Structure 1
């Protein structure tokens, strides 16, 4: 079940309980503040086979029962960022499905994560206000409701470059003080500086201030304005959250996101992380006497598969599943030449489809328009999984998802030319046999494969970047898949490379292709061959 007694026993063990204080007759009574927390939710359906499986509908059942148990006391529901993406549903909803769920759950306060900028800053504004990104172009997704967010959004240390308003616009608050069960609770939103990895943000679009200095300033400000308790919603790495609470003792409780693991508060750091994908619900109780938190109790609720689904949230889950199925029938472009997604093409030679997709990724990560830069793209043949030839004519969203049925995140690395050469040779090493690691490339990168005779290894020659011979000592910014960047498939040098866009900020390849098509709505999908020449 979802709430094991062991969690409650840990409360009594002393790990989560602040030192007791003697209660004098003239001291005020202890009051309780109840907080529910979650973070990093991208999908409505469960995404894990192992327990806890999670899912929004089961999460809602636990929350509803908890609220009934605590009634008439108010329960403050808080969310610590990352809702826009990445997910297959986000490819058309741009995060509207999670806003819909957050409204149904009754989120009171939320802050922003790095993935909120996956489709650019204006798209985030549209999500919060309930606008369709494509409505002005006459291509609105009518079946998606695009609800306006009902949560109060907090961002204390990041601002719009043009207006100086907090991220999210004028309706976002730097901080807020709210009365909960007779206690004045101050809340703020703080994040470490992950802006450099947000590939769809333009230079200067969002401005960062040091989260520790800003956190200290606003924590003291809220205390002076009468807050008895200060809570920080953050989207930081756990180690940085610990540094923050150590530097700002005025923070009584930190509710964090960004990390996808579960972590309970302890007496020293007062940090709670609630995992990802609706897998855990954290109920924290602050026992407050006057201006002091006397006790901090934390209960973890596991969202297991034996929890019943809330009917209201399940209806929402089913609704977006139907929309997704309908969306997959949508024509996204016309193709002029057959798109060969079979292994016989992708794992043996270059193809029109693989070249076109690499071009789309390279343009999305180009320096054009002030976005993140990539000199070229390299994607292994084994990442293309369509297993069929798509004929000339309509190419649908479902066709694209058939080519990439699983998440396939793109990151950008800083690689030496010598490492690019090693990667290309590693990629073609098993030719003329099946060669899953064969590197397909964007237009800027071309190379020849000289097939070895007998036991001789294949050699890569005549490697050129934008028509000029590659320089072994020069650094290039290269878009690759996350799996490659982790050093898998025999690329340890990629695991050691500097990240320009890391796995926390990289986008799914499906989204990059769709964004490319949005910029070129009337352009047929095509690409020239000749990037990989195989010489016997």
Structure 2
């Protein structure tokens, strides 16, 4: 009988939305990513291997706006995933739809710190509170951890769901999994699949270092390795264009890792944390070198990370390519119709829309306000930057429904609400409260101008609030405000919007896709009458 391996390899990815490839390196795409992943999975010389996913797959995307998440089912089921955790966007279309999707997956979903208060079970039926994988004589415990911050953004969360502090819940479950007195547990290693922002992941990795061996996270859409990673290799970097879009971010990440490694105190293991990019463009190959000489305790001697990028040089997996072709053919007829023309580039990058004024945000706000200016007296429009998706610049030229749906995949409509100037002030202050963090709440507006100083406290009387005629916003006067129903419901901290009286409710509101469709069709009619 062969002796057990002294290594454990983990293949990790997170936050995948679009099955098709992009037009810039690394191009991503499910077919190339699947080919890359399968080639690594077939390489048995690397030792025992786990494939893990850290959430966000079914929504939001162009495809999901039509398929309601079903387009991703065959793709995920083809990737030989051993375990996954739930991301915030898994809940976008409600718990019933999510549970139906989970039921059709051929791999388990793990969620540890969100439970149903009535039953104590994990938040979604069919998911697990923890998982134990036995591989090559190792018992590996897997937990799934989320943060409270994104729960506040969910439009359809059942009221019976209960959130548990991520550090406390993770430490309790990991300790239980490593208990040697419980024969059903007795795990040698515990891996945490997380879907949180970096600051929370760092806190988790630091405060649970005694019981959690590795944190694999998503949610942030960038690549990251913590100071507890001993070796980092990025062989594809030199194959990319010299000025490809992520170069500066990669350089900064690598510099931070090297600096933190250099400052580690003696005998410190550092932050054993990895985030693996986004959208089928990145895959982490993580090698754990183990000391198994003590039968009662497995020790990790070294962690090496190799970053694989899904470039155009990767040959596509033909079976997954067929899936992608069928998905895209189904969408194309409805979405490829050209509905308008833009004479300027439209900026939908997250780094812009979530931190500053964007021309795509301004245009959308103008359309929201003007759509309801006559029928509902809309004077102001609020749109949170997180509503603007796709994370790219659309060049001047033709605009299709596909372009619009890619930027606005959410289905909640525009509503109009009557608010006081003070409620508008509080909404604006909430919108900039997390700046410069790239939070979705950052406001894109129309019909109002404002400046903010992040050094000042909320409600500072020296802050300026004025409308387009530079008149001061009267705190006691009522204004009609067009906004997303999602924001009116109080999500992303916009509780102030929910205090107002609805003038146009969600039943009668228009979606962004129809808003843009009407706008461009209206322009076409006007141009035809010239």
TM bucket (normalised to shorter chain) is 0.5 to 0.7
Residue aligning to 1:246: 206
Which region of structure 1 is more displaced relative to structure 2, 50-59 or 224-233?
50-59
Is 1:163 the counterpart of 2:119? The answer is: yes
Asked if structure 1 preserves the Cα contact closer than 8 Å seen for 2:368 and 2:482, the reply is no
Secondary structure of 2:42's aligned partner: helix
Residue aligning to 2:153: 198
Q: 1:164 to 1:66 in 2, by over 3 A?
A: same
Residue aligning to 1:493: none
For structure 2, the 5+ residue unaligned runs are 180-184, 229-269, 293-297, 344-361, 389-393, 429-443, 449-466, 496-504, 512-517, 519-530
Residue aligning to 2:12: 37
Alignment length (residue pairs): 377
Residue aligning to 2:192: 232
Secondary structure of 1:96's aligned partner: coil
Secondary structure of 2:328's aligned partner: helix
Q: Deviations over 1:325-363 (max 9, x none)?
A: 245499xxxxxxxx99999xx98x998996379999x9x
Residue aligning to 1:111: 85
Residue aligning to 1:321: 328
Provide the rounded CA distance (Å) in 1 between the counterparts of 2:64 and 2:187: 38
Provide the rounded CA distance (Å) in 1 between the counterparts of 2:275 and 2:46: 27
Provide the rounded CA distance (Å) in 1 between the counterparts of 2:340 and 2:309: 44
Provide the rounded CA distance (Å) in 2 between the counterparts of 1:273 and 1:221: 25
Asked if structure 2 preserves the Cα contact closer than 8 Å seen for 1:67 and 1:75, the reply is yes
Asked if structure 1 preserves the Cα contact closer than 8 Å seen for 2:369 and 2:447, the reply is no
Query: Which of 479, 483, 505 is 2:483 aligned to?
Result: 479
**1:21-60 equivalent positions in 2, closer than 5 A:** 31-47=6-22, 49-60=23-34
Residue aligning to 2:224: 263
For structure 1, the 5+ residue unaligned runs are 1-27, 130-147, 331-338, 363-374, 388-397, 425-435, 441-456, 464-469, 486-497, 503-511, 519-524, 526-536
Residue aligning to 1:186: 141
Provide the rounded CA distance (Å) in 2 between the counterparts of 1:31 and 1:214: 30
Q: Which has the larger radius of gyration?
A: 1
Asked if structure 2 preserves the Cα contact closer than 8 Å seen for 1:30 and 1:289, the reply is no
Residue aligning to 2:317: 310
Secondary structure of 1:102's aligned partner: helix
Residue aligning to 1:529: none
What TM-score comes out, normalization by structure 1 length?
Answer: 0.59
Q: Deviations over 1:138-184 (max 9, x none)?
A: xxxxxxxxxx1111110010012443320221x21111111122211
How far is 1:240 from its partner? 1.1
Provide the rounded CA distance (Å) in 1 between the counterparts of 2:193 and 2:147: 12
Query: Which of 371, 376, 381 is 1:355 aligned to?
Result: 371
Residue aligning to 2:456: none
Q: 1:295 to 1:68 in 2, by over 3 A?
A: same
Secondary structure of 2:148's aligned partner: coil
Secondary structure of 2:173's aligned partner: helix
Is 1:459 the counterpart of 2:469? The answer is: yes
Residue aligning to 1:152: 108
Could you say which structure has the greater relative contact order, defined with CA pairs below 8 angstroms and 6 or more residues apart? Answer: 1
Asked if structure 2 preserves the Cα contact closer than 8 Å seen for 1:358 and 1:378, the reply is no
Q: 1:514 to 1:58 in 2, by over 3 A?
A: farther
Asked if structure 1 preserves the Cα contact closer than 8 Å seen for 2:14 and 2:56, the reply is yes
Q: 1:283 to 1:46 in 2, by over 3 A?
A: same
Query: Which of 73, 84, 90 is 2:58 aligned to?
Result: 84
How far is 1:64 from its partner? 1.7
Residue aligning to 2:171: 216
Residue aligning to 1:495: none
Provide the rounded CA distance (Å) in 2 between the counterparts of 1:43 and 1:358: 38
Q: Deviations over 1:265-322 (max 9, x none)?
A: 4321100100100111101112222321222121111111211111111111111101
Provide the rounded CA distance (Å) in 2 between the counterparts of 1:353 and 1:438: 7
Task: Please tell me the root mean square deviation across aligned C-alpha atoms, in Å.
Answer: 4.9
Provide the rounded CA distance (Å) in 1 between the counterparts of 2:479 and 2:145: 34
Secondary structure of 1:227's aligned partner: coil
Q: 1:475 to 1:272 in 2, by over 3 A?
A: farther
Secondary structure of 1:105's aligned partner: coil
Residue aligning to 1:417: 421
Q: 1:201 to 1:104 in 2, by over 3 A?
A: same
Provide the rounded CA distance (Å) in 1 between the counterparts of 2:307 and 2:341: 45
Query: Which of 268, 272, 275 is 2:274 aligned to?
Result: 272
Q: 1:104 to 1:357 in 2, by over 3 A?
A: farther
Query: Which of 292, 301, 311 is 2:308 aligned to?
Result: 301
Asked if structure 2 preserves the Cα contact closer than 8 Å seen for 1:31 and 1:181, the reply is no
Provide the rounded CA distance (Å) in 2 between the counterparts of 1:472 and 1:112: 43
